[in-house]
Amino acid sequence: MESRVLVSLDKDFSSILRFPPARYAGIVVLRLSEPLAPAAIEDALRRLLIALAGKDLTGRLWIIDARRIREFEEPDQP
């Protein structure tokens, strides 16, 4: 396994029931407004890199929109 993080504009990947974050090396969903501009994607990715400083993406879902970054990590299963 190559442990690659998925970065997508497809909002379906934010469904933790269909794509449980614990099964992946990391999922990043960009929820940006239309019309989509390359500068908006660059800004979102730049903000993600700053937020990730010293953090591990493994098993986490990150949702990035124009104003905030949300991180979701599944709770430990008993």
Per 3-state DSSP, the chain is made up of helix, strand and coil in percentages (nearest 5) of: 25, 20, 50
pLDDT tens per residue across span 17-61: 999 998 999 999 999 988 999 999 999 999 999 998 888 888 899
Q: Which residue type does 37 have? A: A
AA identity, residue 77: Q
Q: Residue 3: what pLDDT? A: 83
Supply the pLDDT for residue 9: 95
For residues 57 and 5, the answer to whether their CB atoms sit within 8 Å is yes
2 pLDDT above the threshold of 80? no
Instruction: Give residue 76's pLDDT.
Output: 64
